[in-house]
Amino acid sequence: MSFPDSCLDIVTSTNKLKDTILCAKRQNKKIAFVPTMGSLHKGHLSLIRKSKSLGDISVVSIFVNPMQFGPGEDFTFYPRHEENDIKLLEDNAVDILYLPDNTTIYPENFQTEISVKKIENILCGKFRPSHFKGVATIVTKLLLQVLPDYAIFGEKDYQQLVLITQLVSDLNIPTSVVGCPTIREDDGLAFSSRNSLLNQDERNIAPNLYSELRSVQNLVKCGTNISYACKEATQNLMKIGFSSVDYIEVRDEKNLQKLDKAEPNARLFGAANIGNTRIIDNIPI
């Protein structure tokens, strides 16, 4: 088997994926992997470009993982645009699309969960109790199936990036985890598949999360108390039109421990809700 320059190989079974990956390994090809839930956008495309700069073979997976959605969350309504996604992957010269269905990933009698305890119960995990178990489980499965040399994740989901880095280290998975900067719209809103769920009024409000994080960043740099600055930003977001604010916090970007003052590794995290859509973001202090 060879890997032509401009042909997307769509793989749906684990056996076919195994054969394809082993063939690449025998040819000493480096594999770079971007796991996604589809509904691809410019943020994903930046990860794909990074994968192509790192590896000989670029692999993208699309799987909307039910295990990381809690009761009452938006699994049913999560955006799905498979035809458009395939066209984007072809246009960006991706080599392999892994497109499994639910029974391929979670066959009958599947029982295992992966837990990264200190990371999964803070920030987003506090408000989505089962979310990161689902993330850790699916990412572990995908890494063991794809066997990549590199796995690329966006910093927009920074807690996820830290969790996966810890998971790969703890389980001795021979993959280098690579983080890539958040890609933003012109008004500052971080690209996200869920942005398509916002109506026009909500879309107009959404960039204010980033604006308020920038305000906190500037205040803290000038010596303002972190707790005061975060509280003020929370109040501002509620006045602007967010329905609720889950958190605005400063954490150490290496281990996500909470900080009460600006330190070299300090990063500011925020999550807020508009209607039925949850917006998350983060920036370094």
Q: At which residue do the structure tokens 């401009």 appear?
A: 6
Strand, coil or helix: what is 137? helix
Alpha helices (H) in 180-244, listed in sequence order? 200-205, 208-221, 226-240
Residue type, 204: N
Q: What residues are annotated to the active site? A: 44
Residue type, 132: F
Which tokens sit at 225?
A: 């108390």
Strand, coil or helix: what is 251? strand
Residue type, 279: I
Which tokens sit at 53?
A: 């700069």
Phi/psi at 2 (5° precision): -115, 170
- Closest to 20 in 3D by CA, of 49, 48, 54, 59: 59
